[in-house]
């Protein structure tokens, strides 16, 4: 999403938080306490990598935000951190009880971040996307649930939708959204479902969105590319093309070893994301429907194009941006207008 001009924010969030949770959230027995998803995410400065051995601290030692949730469907809250531009939105399929959720924004060194990436899940060489407001010595940002987390099935129903928006000059690599399961501090799964970049929009931010089965920790991850192929747009042919609401848009591209000529290359892994940027200060991620072949692109052997149909049925008139990303090329974008 675009960098916000938070003129309406006249009170800054506190840089420290306490483990204050709603009444009734304290386990009433040792067995109940054992079942609770309690994760302490403050670490001793001497710990490097062995996060499970971290000693809990009193209160948050990094910027935190606490948001209250109340029963209802599709409940979403935006977490913001004093002094920083990145935001985290957390949405539950359904909230069952009243509870508070605290998220701590931590900055880690690349070595400490690498310790959170287990082998076999993310390729060697994977690291974080460095935000523009992160110091060079601790460039990696993670978002950790702090204190006693609300319990799935009792306090909320999954899935949990995470939307991370940040500012970075690095739009390269193959993006991923790492999620740590349960009480683990390692990112054991990539939950990324949507990734949008806005290089044609002034002061705009990359946005990642994905779903998890529970609450723990997330971080934006930059995976190395497996190829260095040249990406060439076929359709839409240029930025700003106009289409009618309800019509299908053919999204097509070609890959070549070099330049935009030669033998076309098939890409089985390419994915497509869509965002409404009619209000450039508040882009909105739009779910992409499956086409007749599913979520991935299909290869037309005759034309040598990777293609899929993008449905605009049910979308509002306005300006949109398509982002195509893969492990073969850095994210690519095209804008179009619906009327």
Mean pLDDT by 10 residues, the chain (339 residues): 37 33 34 36 31 43 91 89 93 96 95 93 95 91 92 95 92 94 87 83 75 95 94 96 95 95 94 89 83 79 95 94 94 95
> What is each CA distance from 92 to 95, 110, 163, 214, in whole angstroms?
6, 31, 12, 10
Q: Which helix (H) or strand (E) holds 209?
A: strand 207-212
d(CA 250, CA 224): 28
Q: What is the pLDDT of residue 75?
A: 86
Domain 30-223 CATH (choose: 2.60.220, 1.10.10, 3.40.50, 3.90.550): 2.60.220
How would you classify the pairing of strands 305-311 and 298-300? antiparallel
Total-model pTM: 0.79
**Are 320 and 286 contacting, i.e. CB atoms less than 8 angstroms apart?**
yes
Q: Which of 170, 135, 114, 106 is nearest to 331 (CA)?
A: 170
Residue 248 has a CB neighbour count (10 Å cut-off) of 14
Domain 230-338 CATH (choose: 3.30.428.10, 3.40.640.10, 2.60.40.10, 3.40.50.300): 2.60.40.10
**Are 143 and 86 contacting, i.e. CB atoms less than 8 angstroms apart?**
no
Q: What is the pLDDT of residue 3?
A: 40
Q: What is the pLDDT of residue 279?
A: 82
Residue extents of the structural domains in the chain: 30-223, 230-338
Q: Which of 34, 339, 2 is nearest to 165 (CA)?
A: 2
Q: What is the pLDDT of residue 200?
A: 54
Q: What is the pLDDT of residue 294?
A: 62
């Amino acid at each position: 999403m675009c960098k916000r001009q938070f003129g309406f924010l006249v009170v800054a969030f506190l840089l420290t938080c306490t483990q204050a949770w709603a009444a009734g959230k304290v386990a009433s027995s040792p067995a109940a306490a054992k079942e609770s998803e309690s994760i302490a995410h403050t670490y001793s400065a001497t710990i490097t990598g062995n996060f499970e051995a971290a000693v809990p601290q009193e209160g948050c030692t990094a910027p935190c935000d606490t948001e209250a949730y109340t029963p209802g469907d599709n409940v979403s809250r935006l977490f913001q951190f004093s002094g920083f531009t990145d935001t985290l939105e957390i949405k539950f399929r359904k909230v069952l009880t009243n509870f508070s959720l605290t998220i701590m924004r931590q900055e880690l060194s690349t070595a400490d971040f690498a310790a959170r990436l287990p082998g076999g899940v993310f390729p060697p060489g994977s690291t974080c996307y460095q935000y523009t407001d992160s110091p060079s010595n601790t460039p990696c940002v993670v978002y950790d649930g702090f204190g006693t987390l609300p319990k799935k099935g009792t306090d909320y129903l999954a899935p949990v939708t995470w939307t991370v928006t940040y500012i970075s000059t690095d739009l390269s690599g193959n993006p991923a959204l790492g999620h740590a399961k349960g009480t683990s501090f390692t990112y054991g799964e990539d939950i990324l479902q949507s990734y949008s970049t806005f290089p044609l929009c002034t002061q705009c931010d990359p946005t990642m969105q994905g779903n998890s089965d529970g609450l723990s920790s997330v971080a934006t991850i930059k995976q190395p590319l497996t190829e260095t192929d040249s990406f060439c747009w076929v359709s839409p042919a240029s930025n700003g093309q106009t289409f009618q609401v309800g019509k299908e848009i053919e999204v097509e591209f070609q890959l070549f070893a070099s330049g935009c000529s030669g033998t076309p290359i098939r890409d089985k892994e390419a994915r497509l994301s869509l965002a409404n940027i009619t209000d450039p200060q508040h882009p909105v991620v739009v779910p992409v429907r499956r086409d007749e072949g599913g979520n991935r692109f299909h290869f037309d052997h005759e034309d040598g194009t990777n293609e899929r149909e993008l449905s605009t049925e049910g979308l509002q008139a306005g300006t949109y941006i398509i982002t195509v990303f893969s492990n073969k090329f850095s994210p690519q974008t095209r804008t179009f207008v619906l009327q």
